[in-house]
Amino acid sequence: MLVLVGLGLDTKDLTLRGFEAIRNADTVYLETYTSFAPKNYIAFIEKEAGKHIETIERHNLEDDLKETVALAKKKDIAILVPGDPLIATTHSIILNEARKQHVKTEVFHSPNVFSVAIGESGLDVYKFGPTATLPFWSEHYKPVSFLDVIRNNMENKEHTLLLFDIDQKNRRPMTIREAIRILTDVEAQKKTKTITKNLRVLILGDLGKRSQRIIDVKLGAIGEKIEKELEGKVLSIIIPSRLTFAEEESLQRITKQNQ
């Protein structure tokens, strides 16, 4: 049997059903390339469940997918995923392969960045358009499709959730300064006026954790003080479209609570 277990966003977000699945598994893997597991979380689970947890590399889940799934024919395997298991497409591919090989599967869900970001923002879930990811740029890799998502959502009067990339090599989240640089660079490259200094953004740092920080600010007003407050946090932003009175009221209340 193959089970996918969501770890949620902070230590102890793991559900009781997910914990039971870990404790009953013969082998437990941890996948961390789609997100971060909170510090000391894995050590806590190992101690409480009495299991050794082995970190699994990306190629094991993608290049060696058939072999990894085949192991679940002989023993119970649990794959732990920060956040919710089915947010990243990689995990849906795992389930599809398991079904092809007639391997029984089960999924244990947990809090994830999508539900928590929208809920904590106080904005209407039905007014969000497509989500985009802001990737790190390199010399030969400079995707710009996220700008089209932002612009189309604005035209449709829809809010945009923009997720920040993770530096896999150095295992660190993108900083707000790096994000601003990429956003402004692509804006100059596209010669449009979507991203401006007056653009209102809701910065979401360490969502769902005790260190959570929410800042309602204009892009041009983000300076060293805010950068320092957000240092080391996993970030995303929401670019609001036209707000209703209720949304504006909720946003003011939430950001005041997070000051």
| C-alpha torsion sign, points 67, 68, 71, 73 | negative
Q: One-letter amino acid identity for 54?
A: E
Distance CA 133, CA 155 (A): 19
Q: What is the pLDDT of residues 102-144, one digit of tens each?
A: 999 999 999 999 999 999 999 999 999 999 999 998 888 888 8
Q: What pLDDT score was predicted for residue 68?
A: 86
- Show the tokens assigned to 188: 């100059």
Fold assignment, 2-108? Cobalt-precorrin-4 Transmethylase; domain 1 (3.40.1010)
User: With b meaning 16 or more CB within 10 Å and e meaning fewer, what string describes 97-109?
Assistant: bbeeeebebebbb
**In this structure, are residues 254 and 120 in contact, taking their beta carbons and an 8 Å threshold?**
yes
**Which helix H or strand E contains 24, and what residues bound it?**
helix 16-24
State the SS3 of 139-189: CCECCCHHHHHHHHHHHCCCEEEEEECEECCCCEECCHHHHHHHHHHHHHH
| Locus of tokens 């497409």 | 89
Q: What pLDDT score was predicted for residue 167?
A: 86
Q: What pLDDT score was predicted for residue 259?
A: 62
- Nearest-CA neighbor of 57 among 66, 49, 47, 68? 68
Q: What pLDDT score was predicted for residue 258?
A: 64
All residue ranges of the chain with pLDDT < 50 are none
Contacts of 56 (CB under 8 A, 6+ apart): 29, 30, 31, 68, 79
Q: Where in the chain is the domain with CATH 3.40.1010.10?
A: 2-108
The predicted model scores a pTM of: 0.89
Q: What pLDDT score was predicted for residue 187?
A: 83
| C-alpha torsion sign, points 37, 43, 47, 52 | positive
Distance CA 56, CA 89 (A): 17
Contacts of 235 (CB under 8 A, 6+ apart): 164, 173, 174, 175, 176, 179, 203, 204, 205
Superfamily of domain 113-257: Tetrapyrrole methylase, C-terminal domain (3.30.950.10)
Q: What pLDDT score was predicted for residue 256?
A: 74
Q: What pLDDT score was predicted for residue 130?
A: 96
Apex CA 58: angle with CA 206 and CA 42, to 5°?
A: 50
Q: Where in the chain is the domain with CATH 3.30.950.10?
A: 113-257
| Locus of tokens 């300076």 | 223
Distance CA 49, CA 71 (A): 21
- Show the tokens assigned to 157: 């009067």
Q: One-letter amino acid identity for 102?
A: H
Distance CA 37, CA 35 (A): 7
- Nearest-CA neighbor of 121 among 21, 226, 204, 221? 204
